């Protein structure tokens, strides 16, 4: 019998300093939907190579990311968690999709423009990043792609590429995926600059991001230094000048799952911004401490982690490999029998 549950796929780079933006904008939503869907979660190590990496560190961070995702609640009995480079169809079919991808579509991507502007020499892999991401999604016929707001454009490009392939080869081969963006915390902003998205590749992580694996004292310190304003009013607001307070309230709202009115009621008796920061920090610390503890425990058994990842890769390949074979056939390659 065919399984009609929606298929979900998302990815995360195994780069350091996973922060509450990644957690609230993406990972937490992966965990929440697990029971009712077919889930694929991919640690995208090939994407991580689009900027130069230290090999030993990348390997360590890939295992650490797997441990973190399990610690956040990804359940290997319900979800297929795997490392991208373990399923060779991803790299292989990216080449195939490259052959129908107009260069201009990639040059228009906001993330490419932002990241390439900061670099002296821009690597081809950085430009091609969204094509690899498109294949991550299309290989699994994913219907839903839960991501933070910054990745919406890449999912839209995936749809355009899928459509283009289907048109050129005159068949409905690829499924059109939908981005699923959370309504709260889709874009958690930096504590030091609330007009910039909290980013793990920021030059100054201290005071900017709230890493999930940071200890409580450091988190308190980061919140204490968070940029606010001189209005001295605890309120949600679209005003860029008040973005700092808005961000703190948004983080609190996302963690507690409360409505805006309930959040404001919680802070009605707060003694100024200092008190607001202290209470938001305490709420964040309570939520992430168990994750940090579970992560530490999982990291003590790398053999077990590798076993779980090998199982995930095998399960993922069972979906991806046949799809890659069909793609080759459609494109006119001789597929060995």
| Catalytic residue numbers, as ranges | 115, 197, 200
**By C-alpha distance, which of 318, 316, 321 is closest to 39?**
316
Strands 79-83 and 7-12 turn out to be unpaired
**By C-alpha distance, which of 125, 110, 128, 132 is closest to 42?**
132
What sign does the dihedral 330-332-335-337 (CA atoms) show?
A: positive
Instruction: Give me the least distance between CB of 247 and ligand LTN, in Å please.
Output: 19
Which stretch, 73-81, 195-203, 212-220, 290-298, contacts ligand ATP (CB under 6 A)?
195-203
Site residues for ligand LTN, window 1-30 (CB under 6 A)? 9-13
Instruction: Give me the least distance between CB of 294 and ligand ATP, in Å please.
Output: 19
Distance CA 204, CA 202 (A): 5
Binding-site partner at residue 229 among ligand ATP, ligand LTN, none, CB < 5 to 8 Å by type:
none
Whichever of 74 and 133 has its CB closer to ligand LTN, that residue is: 133
Site residues for ligand ATP, window 5-44 (CB under 6 A)? 12-13, 21-22, 25-26
Does 145 bind ligand LTN (CB under 6 A)? Our answer is yes
Distance CA 311, CA 319 (A): 13
Residue carrying the six token digits 């920061």: 277
Does 79 bind ligand LTN (CB under 6 A)? Our answer is no
Distance CA 286, CA 284 (A): 5
Binding residue for ligand ATP (CB under 6 A) from 31, 81, 139, 148?
A: 148
Does 150 bind ligand ATP (CB under 6 A)? Our answer is yes
Does 187 bind ligand ATP (CB under 6 A)? Our answer is yes
Contact flags string 58-97 toward ligand ATP, x per CB under 6 A: ----------------------------------------
Distance CA 37, CA 54 (A): 36
Instruction: Give me the least distance between CB of 135 and ligand LTN, in Å please.
Output: 9
Token pair, residue 210, equals 């709230």
**By C-alpha distance, which of 240, 211, 235 is closest to 223?**
211
For residue 203, the Cα-to-chain-centroid distance in whole angstroms is 19
Q: What are phi and psi of 150, to 5 degrees?
A: -65, -20
Binding-site partner at residue 228 among ligand ATP, ligand LTN, none, CB < 5 to 8 Å by type:
none
Distance CA 322, CA 87 (A): 12
Instruction: Give me the least distance between CB of 142 and ligand LTN, in Å please.
Output: 8
Distance CA 105, CA 113 (A): 12
Site residues for ligand LTN, window 120-139 (CB under 6 A)? 133, 136-137
Which stretch, 125-133, 170-178, 191-199, 284-292, contacts ligand ATP (CB under 6 A)?
191-199
Distance CA 254, CA 20 (A): 10
Which stretch, 89-97, 130-138, 145-153, 321-329, contacts ligand ATP (CB under 6 A)?
145-153
Alpha-carbon dihedral of residues 289, 252, 255, 83, nearest 10 degrees? -70
In the bound state, the residue with its beta carbon closest to ligand ATP is: 25
For residue 59, the Cα-to-chain-centroid distance in whole angstroms is 19
Site residues for ligand LTN, window 154-173 (CB under 6 A)? 154
Contacting residues toward ligand LTN, per CB under 6 A: 9-13, 44, 47, 133, 136-137, 145, 147, 151, 154
Contacting residues toward ligand ATP, per CB under 6 A: 12-13, 21-22, 25-26, 147-148, 150-151, 186-188, 197-201
């Amino acid at each position: 019998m065919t399984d009609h549950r929606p298929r979900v796929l998302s990815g995360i780079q195994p780069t350091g300093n996973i922060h509450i933006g990644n957690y609230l904008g993406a990972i937490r939503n992966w965990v929440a939907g697990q029971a009712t869907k077919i889930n694929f979660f991919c640690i995208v190590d090939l994407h991580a190579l689009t900027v130069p990496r230290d090999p030993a560190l990348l390997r360590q961070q890939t295992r650490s990311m797997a441990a973190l995702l399990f610690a956040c609640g990804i359940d290997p009995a319900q979800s297929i968690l795997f490392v991208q480079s373990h399923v060779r169809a991803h790299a292989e079919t990216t080449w195939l999709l490259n052959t129908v991808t107009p260069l201009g579509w990639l040059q228009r991507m906001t993330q490419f423009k932002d990241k390439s502007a900061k670099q002296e020499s821009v690597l081809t892999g950085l430009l091609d990043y969204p094509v690899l991401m498109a294949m991550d999604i299309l290989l699994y016929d994913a219907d839903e792609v839960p991501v933070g707001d910054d990745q919406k454009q890449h999912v839209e490009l995936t749809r355009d590429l899928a459509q283009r392939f289907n048109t050129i080869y005159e068949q409905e081969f690829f499924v059109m995926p939908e981005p699923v963006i959370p309504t709260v915390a889709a874009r958690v902003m930096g504590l030091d600059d609330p007009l910039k998205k909290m980013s793990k590749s920021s030059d100054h992580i201290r005071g900017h991001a709230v890493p999930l694996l940071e200890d409580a004292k450091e988190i308190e310190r980061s919140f204490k230094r968070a940029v606010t304003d001189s209005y001295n009013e605890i309120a949600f607001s679209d005003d860029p000048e008040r973005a700092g307070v808005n961000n703190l309230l948004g983080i609190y709202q996302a963690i507690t799952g409360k409505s805006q009115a309930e959040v404001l009621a919680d802070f009605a008796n707060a003694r100024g911004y200092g008190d607001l920061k202290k209470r938001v920090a305490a709420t964040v610390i309570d939520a992430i401490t168990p994750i940090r503890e579970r992560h530490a425990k999982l990291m003590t058994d790398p053999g077990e982690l590798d076993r779980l990842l090998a199982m995930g890769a095998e399960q993922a390949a069972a979906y991806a490999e046949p799809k890659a074979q069909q793609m080759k056939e459609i494109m006119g390659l001789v597929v060995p029998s």
